[in-house]
């Protein structure tokens, strides 16, 4: 495994895991190609062969691979195969971008401090699935997205950054999903940029930002009209 943080002027090698459309993948690709993020995507790996994100990667000349979870009898063997595939590309960081699999403790520990995820809620609230509808059902007034280091606790790793949106009267789950995703496409590349610059790292169960423990997630809300 390469060093998580590259030397000045170098690009951080990353691998991105997806299961679906890959809109956050596209946002990261765009940020890299614009020169804003000093990273190199060495591979995009999916557990689903029909994930549209694979086509997005191919259009940009990025290597793709499919490790289908149905081909393995249990999570451990699937994760072993996935880890073997990832490590062939020697990434300094592994990014979960809509990767819909719960990972084993051994897998998470192998990439400790080098594994990021984005979750559609203001963590620690609303871990798990169906966050948009659950927020509406609870009559919340705020919603958003969080980028966090992955630990053995589902959606429970230390949160690095967040973006917030208001929950408006009459909002449906798909309304929230659309507005949250718009924030995600700004939030994830920006957080990746800081990781590539060596500004953020994980120390035990805490985020270190610019050399200091982070007392609360960094607000990266994109101002919209």
Q: Where in the sequence numbering do the catalytic residues fall?
A: 119
Sheet holding 142-149, edge to edge: 64-66, 39-46, 12-18, 93-96, 115-119, 142-149, 159-166, 218-219
DSSP letter string over 62-77?
--EEE--GGGSSSHHH
Instruction: Please report, for residues 17, 117, 184, 209, 221, the alpha-carbon distance to residue 191 in angstroms, rounded to integers and kept in the order given.
Output: 17, 11, 10, 11, 12
Q: What gap in Å lies between CA 145 and CA 177, rounded to an integer?
A: 10
29 phi/psi in degrees, rounded to 5: -55, -45
């Amino acid at each position: 495994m390469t060093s998580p943080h590259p030397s000045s002027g170098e690009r951080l090698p990353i691998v991105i895991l997806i299961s679906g459309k890959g809109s956050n993948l596209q946002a990261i690709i765009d940020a890299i190609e614009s020169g804003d993020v000093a990273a190199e995507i060495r591979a995009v790996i999916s557990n689903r062969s029909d994930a549209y994100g694979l086509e997005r990667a191919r259009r940009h000349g990025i290597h793709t691979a499919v490790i289908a979870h149905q081909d393995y009898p249990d999570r451990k063997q699937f994760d072993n195969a996935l880890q073997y595939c990832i490590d062939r590309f020697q990434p300094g960081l592994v990014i979960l971008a809509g990767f819909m699999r719960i990972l084993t403790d051994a897998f998470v520990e192998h990439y400790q401090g080098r594994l990021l995820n984005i979750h559609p809620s203001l963590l620690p609230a609303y871990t798990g699935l169906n966050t948009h509808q659950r927020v509406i059902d609870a009559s919340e007034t705020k919603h958003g997205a969080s980028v966090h280091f992955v630990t053995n606790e589902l959606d429970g790793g230390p949160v690095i950054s967040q973006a917030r949106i208001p929950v408006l009267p009459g909002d449906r789950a798909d309304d929230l999903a659309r507005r949250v995703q718009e924030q995600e496409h700004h939030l994830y590349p920006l957080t990746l940029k800081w990781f590539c610059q060596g500004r953020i790292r994980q120390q035990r169960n805490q985020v270190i930002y610019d050399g200091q423990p982070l007392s609360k997630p960094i607000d990266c809300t994109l101002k919209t009209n």
